[in-house]
Amino acid sequence: MITNPELVARFEKERIRRAKPDYEQNIRIVEALLLEAISLGAFPPKDPLEGIEVDIRLAKVLNSV
Per-residue pLDDT tens digits for 41-51: 988 888 889 88
Per-residue pLDDT tens digits for 7-63: 999 999 999 999 999 999 999 999 999 999 999 998 888 888 988 999 999 999 999
Peptide bond connecting 48 to the previous residue in cis, omega within 30 degrees of 0: no
Rounded to whole angstroms, how far apart are CA atoms 40 and 37? 5
The answer to whether the beta carbons of residues 2 and 8 sit under 8 Å apart is yes
Strands annotated E in the chain: none
